[in-house]
Structure 1
């Protein structure tokens, strides 16, 4: 009777049922195909971990301009691709009200907001958990609410391990004494869909072997004008370069359009694609010469920052785009060795979040266009090395299995 009352009159009720899973993953966006890193990581676990269950809510679909009702469509698409998984395992949609069995050997999720929401249920039911602390999702440096969540989560007796993808995140957790070093696993980068890894750059054209020099911006918009991702800077670059170079065209992927920032007089120079499913990005990127990612920290909220580089940038690089990227937290430098993840000016061009600096770097390319293909090819090879599943997913899988097998 009590369970019935909880189910229909309270929001959600989580309990430890008789059926026990090896791994339970909670997420607020998967299997939406617009999040490539989630799709690759979670489907990899689907193929490599038995008795896996998902607990899914579509509450963040609105952030990319989608209705939560689209969740059913994405689940059906997933079922078409992984029919065997649906025969043997479970996906449960988390509604506003309901009872949910969370009896599992290990609970996993990404982003601090998700675990902060689930922590009371995990502690009440004595469920051990591991999570990945990506930039975003409620995490920011020296931000009061973020720190409060981290302290609570990382001090839980059921917390086992946190995966971090940025050196700055690792150093922040250590400096703030949020948890012991041995409970932090640093894996630079993120899971990436592997379909573009085999693309041959020699098969595509670059300026000047094609008539236009094509420059792209690709990111989600979470502020009114996308300033945290550097969209106003990108538009400044367009407005300054277009009168000088008639052969340059600009491309914008994400939830942007001509109304975000005035582009009167330049509409024939720029194309908007809207938010694209991850599988559709390659078709655009293979006609792009340069992708610019002029993102800045502390603009979305205090302490907010982006991962270096963004997932969309990695996908662009894998499809042969030359990458120009800001690095506000100096993530590219490897302190232990004195080397770089991406050799500046040979595998990636590090830019400042300033239109004049970006234009200076673009003009170097214009005056020596052979650099486009040279840097793009070298960059692609480095991204393949750093982002293949052997480098990204194998250590993640081994970590999770180490707790599942105990």
Structure 2
């Protein structure tokens, strides 16, 4: 009896010890953090650019911390709770224990600098940042509430830029830089252009060594479309165009296959009778190395202003960059003239937003496959240059470091 009581008491003490160790280290601490990252979805693996970028800051700035609300999870159909997602992240990244914390609006934040991504997040967190008197930097990606020629968006931007705690904005597209300056929303000296997006480059390059070639070690010519659905028929991403391409080419070829990754399925557009159109649903980073190893072309016929007037995507999209990094040839539309680094028919194929134009290009490279391989390899080399850790994260860290020096 006594032994059982002693054992139970020991178990209780161990449980209490584990409980207190599991609590965020800063819960009762008055410690001032170097960088405070504020977000609404991290550390979900379905947002790999956040994982890479925020994890990097946690490594570079030892006193940094991420506060996350998880409010965006329900909008993307994520079924796991924020707690479960955070627990998994801690298992995979034990060095960050106690430094990824669920956001509590009543918590007093103390930091040298706050950092946020996307317009909607920055505007939402602005009152918290100002209440806690923290200087801040944010990245203005395409999407995330930002589109051009909108009075509402411009008003939100002005509120952010007029804050006495605003230090600098990072933009990822030249068209964004020009828009802010031309519309007198932000002075050029407070804008840093870091082209592109942060990606898990090392993981994605695994596919390159296993790349399969048409008629050499695979029997199908494979085209893919990678995007999520934000409107009926996915017109903004060009999903309707991709299906039109699939139907046109399927009538002429029995060895061409079409692959769709993202929140689309056969109910969006009727594809009955086409067994060569395959749906995979949304996928995590680990899915793509084997997937892209089999792909020949990724097609991205995006349509600006389709989702909302002034809405646009980055060029190329994140999905295309991932595919290109793994040796897939990029076929991308650029009706807004965003391209400044790639060369048509050398390391990319610039397409129009219509099926006939794209089919013409695809047919040509179907019959001249060696040229397609050359484009894919040169595109891969260009992407490695533009989207390496050095090219993407070093400039961002420099912006944060310099912002902390500004009074």
TM-score past 0.5 threshold: yes
Q: Specify the alignment match of 2:17 in structure 1.
A: none
Q: Is the 8 A contact 1:206 1:372 kept in 2?
A: no
Please report how far the alpha carbon of residue 112 of structure 1 lies from its aligned counterpart in structure 2 after TM superposition.
Answer: 0.7
Please report how far the alpha carbon of residue 167 of structure 1 lies from its aligned counterpart in structure 2 after TM superposition.
Answer: 0.5
Matches within 5 A, 1:146-165: 146-165=153-172
Please report how far the alpha carbon of residue 61 of structure 1 lies from its aligned counterpart in structure 2 after TM superposition.
Answer: 2.0
Please report how far the alpha carbon of residue 202 of structure 1 lies from its aligned counterpart in structure 2 after TM superposition.
Answer: 5.6
**Residues paired across the two proteins, number:** 378
Structure 2 unpaired stretches of 5+: 1-28
Whether 2:92 is the aligned partner of 1:81: answer: yes
Please report how far the alpha carbon of residue 118 of structure 1 lies from its aligned counterpart in structure 2 after TM superposition.
Answer: 1.4
Q: 1: distance between equivalents of 2:352 and 2:106?
A: 50
Q: Specify the alignment match of 1:319 in structure 2.
A: 326
Whether 2:320 is the aligned partner of 1:308: answer: no
Please report how far the alpha carbon of residue 127 of structure 1 lies from its aligned counterpart in structure 2 after TM superposition.
Answer: 1.4
1:256-315 deviation per Cα after TM superposition (whole angstroms, max 9, x unaligned): 11001111211x111111000122222211111110011111011121100111111111
Please report how far the alpha carbon of residue 29 of structure 1 lies from its aligned counterpart in structure 2 after TM superposition.
Answer: 1.4
1:48-86 deviation per Cα after TM superposition (whole angstroms, max 9, x unaligned): 11111111022222343213x432232122212221221
Q: Specify the alignment match of 2:25 in structure 1.
A: none
Q: Specify the alignment match of 1:3 in structure 2.
A: none
Q: Specify the alignment match of 2:386 in structure 1.
A: 386
Q: 1: distance between equivalents of 2:204 and 2:264?
A: 28
Structure 1 unpaired stretches of 5+: 1-16, 334-340
Q: 1: distance between equivalents of 2:287 and 2:129?
A: 37
Q: 1: distance between equivalents of 2:49 and 2:140?
A: 13
Q: Specify the alignment match of 2:35 in structure 1.
A: 23
SS at match of 2:264: coil
Q: Specify the alignment match of 1:207 in structure 2.
A: 214
Q: 2: distance between equivalents of 1:197 and 1:117?
A: 33
1:108-137 deviation per Cα after TM superposition (whole angstroms, max 9, x unaligned): 000011111111222233211100000011
Q: Specify the alignment match of 1:187 in structure 2.
A: 194
Q: 2: distance between equivalents of 1:62 and 1:82?
A: 24
Which structure would you say has the larger Rg?
2
Q: 1: distance between equivalents of 2:272 and 2:113?
A: 54
Q: 2: distance between equivalents of 1:253 and 1:395?
A: 31
SS at match of 2:116: strand
SS at match of 2:81: helix
Matches within 5 A, 1:25-104: 25-67=37-79, 69-86=80-97, 89-94=98-103, 99-104=106-111
Whether 2:249 is the aligned partner of 1:241: answer: yes
Q: 1: distance between equivalents of 2:41 and 2:228?
A: 14
CA RMSD of aligned residues (A): 1.7
Matches within 5 A, 1:86-125: 86=97, 89-94=98-103, 99-125=106-132
Q: 2: distance between equivalents of 1:248 and 1:42?
A: 40
Cα 1:300/1:166, change in 2 over 3 Å: same
Q: 2: distance between equivalents of 1:275 and 1:218?
A: 9
Q: 2: distance between equivalents of 1:125 and 1:373?
A: 54
Q: Specify the alignment match of 1:291 in structure 2.
A: 298
Q: 2: distance between equivalents of 1:34 and 1:93?
A: 18
Please report how far the alpha carbon of residue 200 of structure 1 lies from its aligned counterpart in structure 2 after TM superposition.
Answer: 6.9
Q: Specify the alignment match of 1:171 in structure 2.
A: 178
